[in-house]
């Protein structure tokens, strides 16, 4: 079987850090481990290959582009928000066609039997391609992409975005969701029959990260973590992930004079700048922002933690990082959404707090200070559970068996 793995969003690259990169790489490797031939077509990589050069990094600034960025910021500041978002969405449509133009020939040469697409904002490439090639189209969705993007970046029209997503899902042969709980809400939201769904859970890989013990020790000394209960978060810092609740929980813990607790936030973004400014304003000494960390070094930072926290998530989706915490033998602390009840048992494989409530999060963390053995017990149980049930090679078997069975 030959599968085209399509992720048409220009903002995605296969080697990027964070949950999206982990998910794409894991899914692709899972298919390969099952003997499936895969052609990955990832929007950002397609454009980068065409340009013949990597995306410029902040450590290598270009004077002209810096000036252009300044001009763009001025122009954007003068635009009404709706008009700015309209122009951005028009550019997204243009980029979708550009990705098609740049990748279509290589896809024809590969001659896939199936398209497996990670749904992209306002992208209809997979739908058009499936019609042209007359092959099955599987569309992976979280059901809330439009709302998440709207919350973090703004969109011109949530209503139009969801209408287009509905049209894509209805035209696809199958809708792929990450857990069984997502089937009903996604089915109702987009008016899809229940037999159109395939559940493909998230997964982990033991080969995803490396750890250098000397580096871990250096980091512990750098951030004064020895003897402390270290609560950590690794990932994209955005409103979607609720990292602001961690900052407020740190404030509460400091006000309660809890010197044995340190919260470490690994990652960076524009939102992180605002959150760090808030932490500085509050004078928080129990909160560490590491800044951006190279993907190859992330394993060393996971190894600093006693517990890994999910500050917030969508009600029907658990993020891949909760599984990554298990990979590193960390006790997960998660918001009390029903979706986590599918995989976690309170006090046995993790702990929960009231969603969107930093007071509840702080109270849960405080309760663990004098329960280090219980925390380690949960961590060991969670590690064993994750490694047994969430290997990428197993998560794609539902898809392969469905494709191999007559519909």
> Quick check: 227 and 308 in contact, CB under 8 A?
no
pLDDT at 362: 98
Can you give the pLDDT at residue 332?
Answer: 98
Say what the pLDDT of residue 250 is: 98
Residues 299 and 379 in one domain: yes
Report the pLDDT value the prediction gives residue 57, as an integer from 0 to 100: 35
The residues, any chain, with a CB within 8 Å of residue 237's CB and separated by 6 or more, are 243, 265, 267, 268, 269, 271, 272, 275
Q: Residue ranges of the alpha helices (H) in 3-144?
A: 19-33, 43-51, 63-78, 81-110, 125-133
Instruction: Flag whether 75 is in a domain.
Output: no
How far is Cα 351 from Cα 376, in angstroms, rounded to an integer? 12
Cα separation, 302 vs 182, in Å, equals 29
Residues 6+ apart with CB under 8 A from 26: 202, 203, 204, 205, 208, 320, 392, 395
- Same domain for 25 and 171, yes or no, is yes
Q: Do 197 and 235 share a domain, yes or no?
A: no
CATH assignment of the domain containing 328 = 3.40.50.2000
pLDDT of residue 238: 80
224 shares a domain with 189: no
Of 50, 46, 53, 49, the closest CA to residue 9 belongs to 46
- pLDDT on residue 218: 97
What averages of pLDDT result for each successive group of 10 residues across the chain (407 residues)?
97 88 94 97 91 44 50 68 93 96 97 98 97 98 92 92 98 96 95 96 83 96 96 88 95 96 94 94 96 91 97 89 94 96 94 98 96 95 95 94 85
96 and 222 both lie in a single domain: no
Shared-domain flag, residues 367 and 221: yes
Together in a domain, 226 and 185: no
Q: In total, how many domains does the chain have?
A: 2
In angstroms and rounded to an integer, the radius of gyration of the C-alpha atoms of the chain is 22
| Best CA proximity match to 330, nearest among 356, 353, 317, 349 | 349
User: In 3-state terms, what secondary structure has residue 205?
Assistant: coil
Full domain range(s) for residue 185: 2-56+82-203+392-404
pTM above 0.75? yes
If asked whether residues 10 and 152 sit together in one domain, one would say: yes
CA 348/CA 65 separation, integer angstroms:
52
Tokens, residue 103 = 């990748």
> What's the CA gap between 356 and 245, in Å, rounded?
7
**How many angstroms separate the CA atoms of 150 and 144, rounded?**
10
């Amino acid at each position: 079987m030959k599968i085209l793995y399509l992720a048409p969003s220009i903002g995605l690259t296969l080697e990027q850090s964070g949950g999206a990169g982990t998910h794409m790489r894991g899914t692709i490797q899972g298919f390969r481990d099952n003997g499936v031939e895969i052609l990955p077509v990832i929007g950002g990589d397609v454009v980068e290959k065409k340009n013949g050069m990597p995306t410029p990094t902040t450590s290598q600034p270009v004077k002209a582009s810096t000036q252009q960025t300044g001009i763009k910021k001025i122009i954007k500041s003068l635009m009404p928000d709706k008009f700015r978002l309209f122009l951005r969405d028009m550019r997204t449509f243009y980029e979708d066609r550009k990705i098609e133009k740049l990748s279509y020939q290589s896809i024809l040469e590969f001659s896939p039997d199936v398209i497996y697409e990670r749904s992209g904002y306002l992208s209809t490439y997979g739908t058009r391609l499936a019609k042209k090639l007359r092959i099955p189209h599987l569309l992976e969705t979280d059901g809330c992409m439009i709302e998440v993007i709207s919350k973090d970046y703004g969109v011109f029209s949530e209503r139009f975005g969801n209408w287009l997503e509905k049209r894509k899902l209805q035209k696809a042969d199958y809708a792929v969701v990450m857990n069984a709980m997502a089937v009903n809400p996604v089915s109702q939201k987009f008016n899809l029959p229940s037999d159109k769904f395939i559940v493909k859970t998230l997964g982990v890989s033991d080969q995803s990260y490396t750890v250098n013990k000397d580096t871990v020790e250096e980091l512990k000394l750098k951030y004064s973590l020895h003897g402390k209960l270290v609560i950590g978060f690794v990932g994209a810092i955005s409103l979607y992930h609720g990292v602001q609740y961690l900052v407020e929980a740190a404030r509460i813990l400091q006000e309660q004079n809890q010197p044995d607790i340190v919260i470490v936030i690994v990652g960076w973004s524009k939102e992180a700048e605002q959150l760090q400014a808030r932490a500085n304003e509050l004078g928080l000494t129990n909160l560490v922002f590491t800044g951006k960390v190279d993907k190859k070094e992330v394993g060393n930072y996971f190894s600093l933690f006693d517990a890994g926290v999910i500050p917030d998530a969508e009600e029907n989706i658990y993020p891949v990082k909760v599984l990554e915490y298990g990979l590193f033998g960390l006790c997960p602390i998660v918001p009390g959404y029903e979706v986590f009840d599918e995989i976690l048992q309170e006090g046995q494989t993790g702990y929960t707090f009231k969603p969107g409530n930093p007071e509840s999060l702080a109270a849960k963390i405080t309760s663990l200070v004098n329960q280090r053995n219980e925390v380690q017990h949960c961590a060991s149980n969670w590690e064993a559970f994750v490694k047994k049930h969430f290997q990428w090679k197993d998560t794609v078997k539902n898809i392969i068996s469905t494709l191999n069975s007559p519909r």
